Structures are given as C-alpha cells and as structure tokens.
Structure 1
Amino acid sequence: MRGAGRLQRARARFRQGGLRLRLSALPVAQCAVAAGIAWFVANDLVGHARPFFAPIAAVISLGVSLGSRLRRVVELVVGVSLGVLVGDLLIAQIGSGPWQIALVVALAMGAAVFADGAALLVAQAGSSAVLVATLLPPGEAGGLNRCVDALIGGAVGVLVASVLPSDPVGPVRREARALLEELAAVLEQTARALRERDPEAAAAALRRARASQPLIDGLRAALRGGQEVTRVAPLLRRRRRVLHRFRELAERADYAMRNARVLARRTYTALCDDEPAAPELADLLAELAGAVGVLTDQLDREGERELAREPVLDVVRHQAALSDGWATGASEQVIVAQLRSIALDLLQATGMSRGEALAAMRAPEVSGGRA
C-alpha cells in the first residue's frame, strides 16, 4: 500500500511538472533564443570579447514569467552601468581582494539605492561590481563595452518578445478562473454553514475569503504582463480589447470577494449569537455560487460573458420574491444587502455598466417580487 501511495504521488508530481513545463515552454524558448542571438550580436557583429552581459541581459529582460519587462530592461542596463563604472574605477586603483570587493559592492549598491532603489537595479549593480572585481584583471578596459553588451541583450530580449510573443490572455484567463472559483467556493461554504447552523463552517468560509488576496494580486499581475505583451508585439494589439474586459472583470471580482468577506463575517456573527435566519437565505447563496460558476465557464468563450447575466438576475428575482414574506432581522438585512452587492458586481463583470446593472436588478424586483 505504501509503495502504491508513493507511486501515485510520484505520478502526480510528474504530471504537475509536465504541466508547468508546458505552460512555460514559450517563455523558456524566448530566453534561449534571445541569449544566443545576444551573444552572436555582441561577439560576432559588434566584436566584443567575452560579452557575457549580453545573454544575461537578454534572459533577465525576458524572464520566465511576465511582468514589467520594459522597466526591467532599463533597471538592468542602469544597474550594470553603475556596477561596472564603480568596479572599473576602484579596482584599477586599489586592486582586488576581500576588502576591495566589499568596498566596491557597498559603493555600487549604495549608488543604485540612491539613484532609484529598484530591486533589480540594486542587485545588478552589486553583481556587476563583483564580476568586475573578481573576473577581470585590475586595469582592464571595457567598462563601456559591457554597458553596450547589457543594452544589446535588453534590446534583443524585447525584440524576441515582439517576434515570438507569448499569449497575453491565457495567463489572465487562468488567474480569473481561479479567483472566481474561490468566490463560488466561499459562497457555497457560507450557504452550507447557514443551512446547518454551523459557526465553525462560517468561520472557515471567512478565513478562506480573507486568504483570497494572492489570487487577486495574481490576476492583476497577469493583466499587467498581458498588456505589456500587446505593447511590444504589434500582431497581438487586437487582444487589448479582450484584456480590457478582463481588467473590468478583475475589478468586479475583487469587489465581489470583499462583499463575500462581509457576508461570511455577518453569517458567522449571526450563528455565534444564535440569531434567526430564513432558511431560504442559504438557498440563495448557493444559487449565487452557481451563477458565479456559469460566469467562470464563459471565460473560455470570448464575447459570450453576457450569458452569465440571467443566472445572476434569477438570484435577484428569487431574493425579491422571498423577501416579501420575511420579517428580516439585522443580520438577514446585511446578508441580503451583500448578496445584492455581489450580484451587482457580477453583472458588471459581464460587461454591463453600473447603471445598466442597477436597472436590470430593479426590473426583476418589480416584476418578480411585487406582482
């Protein structure tokens, strides 16, 4: 049995590794191609001996994951320039040794912190100073050449990113799916806690909602990376419209999760205080979780996100109809208010404006709840 368990875990790790490799295949290929081209340009075309900064700059400017690529190129070149300048000036005068290396690194990184303070800039200034102090003989010229090598590498990295661009939407869609699935899980868990009158389950739902911030941050980071790809890759600029829709979805999903936290906290408080709650509230929360699931399913179908509107409006209709017979208490009022706020956020996530979403919510309230 233990052997079978270990084999299953090994297979699971292998599958996860294969998935990570497939997702990173294009960025890895970009880095490999850029490193080779950068060395060729700096060594064979420009004629610099040992232009190791060129492929390093190309790889760092691309990176395996997306981010602020253009800023990284600038930080890289400035950091290398500072490190090489300080290293060349000092090592030529004081020689190379432990205290000399310590002094050069301290001065180079201090200058980088004073100039900007960005993490990559400071790190490159320090590492470049170390390379100059340890690998290059004192007095050897070439500081300007190494700065040029860094510039070549950064430029090649950006060029490769524009010619062999990664998918700007795929990572955004994956992050959006993860966030919406977590929102649905929080709503479903809160509904179950309310149905079973279980304060511990409500506390677990609240903890889960509070732990969702990394998912929100991941979606925003993916959006920044995708927007950067569309800036440097002319063939993918038409994808900006899709990214714009995902940017609106990210904002609304963030608000919806915040409202879900308030909802879970109020549910937990009500259950701890043994406040009454209409049993239909749990059904409404579960139905809202299902509506979030419909929206999640539509992420793979560009332009069809509006299909998720009707399930959300169904929740609003049912809430309006059921609320007529409730003698709502304070906690019930808060839960209903948060439910409606989440519904409003979800409707806006489908592409509706706030005014359109409010109008759509009022219409079913009148026809479904007052007829």
Structure 2
Amino acid sequence: MISWVRDRFQALPPVLRVRIRRLWLSAGPILQCSVAAGLAWWFALDILGHAQPFFAPIAAVISLGLSLGRRWRRAVELVGGVTIGILVGDLLITQIGSGAWQIVVVVALAMAVAVFLDDGPLIPMQAASSAVLVATLLPPGGIGGFHRAIDALTGGLIGILVGALLPANPTARARRDAAGVLAIVRDAATELATGLREQDEDLVYAALLKGRGTQAAINTMRSDMRGGREISTISPLYWGSRMRLQKISATADPIDNGVRNFRVVARRALAITQRGEEVRPELVEIIADLSGAFEILREMMLADPGQSPDAADAARVLRTVARKARPELVADRGLSETALLAELRSLLVDLLMVAGLRRSSALATLR
C-alpha cells in the first residue's frame, strides 16, 4: 500500500508534489493551531464567561504558528501587544471618540509604546491591530478591556499547553531539515564536478545557484532546531530527546559553514571555467567525492539511533576524501587551483564536524 501511494505521488506533476509535501509537513502545526483555537474560545466563553472572546483563539494561533521556534517569546509578545493596544485604545477612544484621525493617533501611540518597551517584531503589530479593533469595532472602556487582556493571556497559555501535549516530533523535524539541506548540496556537488570535467560554464553556474538557494532552508533548519529544543523542554513526551536534540543542533553551524564554503568553491570553479582553464582531474574527483560525503551525512541525519550509517561511518568516508586533498596536488600548479584546494580542505573540516569531530580533530585529519 505504501509503495502504491509513493508511486502515485511520484507520478504527479512536480509543482503539485511540492505543494502536497508542504501541506503534509505542516499537518502537525495546523492540527495544533486548530485545536488550540477551539479550546481557547471554549475556555474563555464557557469557563470564564466572557462574551465574544475572539482574542483568545487569535492568541492561541499566533502563539503556536507554523514555526516551532520561539513560541514562549511569541506568546509573551502577543499578550504584551494586545494589552498595550487595548489599554491605549480604551484610554484614548473614551476621551477623543472614534474616527479616521482618532485611529491615526491610537495606532501611532500604541506602536510607539510597544517599540519603546520591547524590540520584538510582534508586539507593535499586535498592539496596533488591537488598538484598531477597540477604536472601530469594540466598545471601549469598562470591564471589557480587562476581559480582552485576560482572553489574550488565556489563548497564549492554551497554545503553549497544546504545543506541549500535542507536539510535533522535534528530532524528526530537525533531522529532516538538515537532511534536506545536505541533499541540495549533494546534487550541486555532482553538477559542479560534471561541469568542471566538461568545462561547461552553465553547469558550474547552476551548481553555484543551487548552493546560493539554500539559505531559506538553512534558516528553517535553525529555527526548527531551536523549536525542537523548546519542545523538549516544555513537553514531558520528549524530555528523553534532549541529548539527541543537542547533538543534532550542534550540526547547525558546521552545516551552515559547509554550505557557505561550498558556495566559495563553486564561485572559484566558475571563475576558473570562465577563464577557459582546466582543473586537474584529481581536484575534480575530490569534488565528485564530496557528493557522496554529503549523501552519507544526509543518511546519517535520517538514521535512527543504532542504525547505519552513523557518525563513525560518515567520518570514515570523509577521512577517505580528506586523504586525497593533499597539498602536493597543487605543488606545481597555479594560484587558482591552490586556492580551490584550500577551500575544499576548509569545506572538509566543516563536514567532519557535522560527523561529530571536534574542530581540532578535523583540522588534524587534514594536516
């Protein structure tokens, strides 16, 4: 059954596959947001007895969001922004009335107070939107303003609670993100080696573009790794995953640095190709071997504890590639190839660190 579904999925147009995959990966956060919104509305309406407590589900959804990262921060910013907007709106609208210029004043003052109190991006936006609601749709003053602040606090807390009780698997998401970045650079390395062999400037440039296009995926990876650590702190279900998440998170900097170094290698290779120069086959072979190195690191990220390949397997592959990257290769060559080899060696240090080596041990491997 699984293979049949996979075959049908692969038969779909690429654009549709991308959209379905995106929806599938977001299914967990969507479930969390929808459940939290319903619970927040029910609690504020039926338990607290607040009429039309729409700030509660809004707070629940914003405190969760589709991103795992910084949920505590988002919840605090949201409650702070709503409170500021309600207080400013209530105080001013009761004195100056409603209208176009009154909205200008209320929004400006609410955002100014929010920016003065905190540099977070969510607080001023939430303060402004809350002030607009008070100035236009909601009757200002009275106990209603206090209820709205309570609703926002309730929704934020319920959002955090749902995130703790129905969490996305933090390790799975972090591993998937890291594997996705490594897969992109794996393909780019293959393309780069082919372009250098054939002296095809377009292929080399395409490899460079793939490397440059990874930044959004790297940012997502970092955000999900931070969010994973947060989930493992909040959710009792994943307290046992803290050590694993620390190890996965420790790969973020080496992966990021490795991708950056790959871009440098690709830029150097593009410049060499544009000048019509040839790169000696041994250096091209190292770049081709890097594709296999990225692949085994990708498989290592996706492997469960105790399964192969593990960090030791990946390190063995990388040491084999590192032994080929000898300074003697460019002893009688020009500056371009010397610089290319130096950048490849720097990239190998980053990849060895992804495989779990300390920087000193990685450097010693290439000594």
Partner of 2:312: 306
Alignment map for 1:1-371 (pairs within 5 Å): 15-303=17-305, 304-320=310-326, 323=328, 327-362=332-367
AA matched with 1:192: T
Deviation at 1:9, TM superposition (A): 10
CA distance in 2, matches of 1:185, 1:17: 21
CA distance in 2, matches of 1:143, 1:201: 62
CA distance in 2, matches of 1:331, 1:215: 30
CA distance in 2, matches of 1:88, 1:234: 40
Q: Which range moved further: 79-88 or 13-22?
A: 13-22
Deviation at 1:225, TM superposition (A): 1.5
- Does the CA-based 8 Å contact 1:191-1:281 persist in structure 2? no
SS at the partner of 1:347? helix
AA matched with 1:146: R
Deviations 1:51-98 (A, max 9, x none): 221111111111122221111111111111111111111222222222
AA matched with 2:248: F
Partner of 1:368: none
- Does the CA-based 8 Å contact 1:77-1:147 persist in structure 2? yes
SS at the partner of 1:169? helix
Deviation at 1:139, TM superposition (A): 4.5
CA distance in 2, matches of 1:30, 1:214: 24
CA distance in 1, matches of 2:162, 2:276: 62
CA distance in 1, matches of 2:358, 2:252: 15
AA matched with 2:356: G
Higher Cα radius of gyration: 1
- Does the CA-based 8 Å contact 1:186-1:260 persist in structure 2? no
Q: Which range moved further: 344-353 or 112-121?
A: 112-121
Deviation at 1:341, TM superposition (A): 1.8
Query: Given the superposition, is the C-alpha separation of residues 319 and 92 from structure 1 closer, same or farther in structure 2, using an over 3 Å criterion?
Result: closer
SS at the partner of 2:250? helix
SS at the partner of 2:279? coil
CA distance in 1, matches of 2:268, 2:322: 20
SS at the partner of 1:51? coil
Count of residues paired in the alignment: 354
AA matched with 1:170: A
- Does the CA-based 8 Å contact 1:179-1:216 persist in structure 2? yes
AA matched with 2:319: L
CA distance in 2, matches of 1:300, 1:70: 28
Partner of 1:369: none
- Does the CA-based 8 Å contact 2:185-2:210 persist in structure 1? no
Query: Given the superposition, is the C-alpha separation of residues 19 and 292 from structure 1 closer, same or farther in structure 2, using an over 3 Å criterion?
Result: closer
CA distance in 1, matches of 2:262, 2:112: 45
CA distance in 1, matches of 2:174, 2:133: 38
- Does the CA-based 8 Å contact 1:96-1:138 persist in structure 2? no
CA distance in 2, matches of 1:117, 1:58: 22
Deviation at 1:114, TM superposition (A): 2.1
Query: Given the superposition, is the C-alpha separation of residues 141 and 173 from structure 1 closer, same or farther in structure 2, using an over 3 Å criterion?
Result: same
TM-score, structure 1 normalization: 0.87
Query: Given the superposition, is the C-alpha separation of residues 298 and 125 from structure 1 closer, same or farther in structure 2, using an over 3 Å criterion?
Result: same
CA distance in 1, matches of 2:67, 2:329: 52
CA distance in 2, matches of 1:142, 1:324: 76
Deviation at 1:10, TM superposition (A): 7.8
Identity fraction in percent: 46
Query: Given the superposition, is the C-alpha separation of residues 308 and 201 from structure 1 closer, same or farther in structure 2, using an over 3 Å criterion?
Result: same
CA distance in 2, matches of 1:107, 1:134: 16
Structure 2 runs not aligned, ≥5 long: 1-9
Deviation at 1:157, TM superposition (A): 0.9
Query: Given the superposition, is the C-alpha separation of residues 211 and 20 from structure 1 closer, same or farther in structure 2, using an over 3 Å criterion?
Result: closer
Deviation at 1:275, TM superposition (A): 3.8
- Does the CA-based 8 Å contact 1:278-1:326 persist in structure 2? no
AA matched with 1:306: A
